[in-house]
Amino acid sequence: QQPVQSPQAVILREGEDAVINCSSSKALYSVHWYRQKHGEAPIFLMILLKGGEQKGHDKISASFNEKKQQSSLYLTASQLSYSGTYFCGTGLDQFYFGTGTSLTVIP
């Protein structure tokens, strides 16, 4: 029931862009995105509540395609601080997180 994320890992140089995808075999009612630094708890980035919604947060934005049961997270002009593991999440009562994408930004 876990959403599947791709890629599993990505390495970027500062200033490069990245896209992280999240797909579910079940209907997505809403999609959350979280980032986790090593040894820390995940922190909330954004929620997309309905299909077609797009949101932005600094240079991090996301889209939600309800029909395709997919969401994508876009990181533009990446910074060193963007390094971490990104998780999508979804659910009503039960809440499931995706398999995670490790993102490393190097100078």
Partner 1 sequence: NAGVTQTPKFRVLKTGQSMTLLCAQDMNHEYMYWYRQDPGMGLRLIHYSVGEGTTAKGEVPDGYNVSRLKKQNFLLGLESAAPSQTSVYFCASRSTLGTARNTIYFGEGSWLTVV
Least distance CB 107 / partner 1 (angstroms): 26
Beta strands 9-13 and 101-106, pairing class: parallel
Q: Which is nearer to partner 1, 39 or 107 (CB)?
A: 39
Q: Which is nearer to partner 1, 30 or 76 (CB)?
A: 30
Q: Which phi-psi region, left, alpha or beta, contains residue 100 (left: φ > 0; alpha: ψ -120 to 50)?
A: left
Q: At CA 6, angle to CA 99 and CA 2, rounded to 5?
A: 30
Asked if residue 25 binds partner 1 (CB under 8 A), the reply is: no
Instruction: Provide the binding-site residues for partner 1, judged by CB under 8 A.
Output: 1-2, 30, 32, 34, 40-44, 47, 49, 87, 89, 93-100
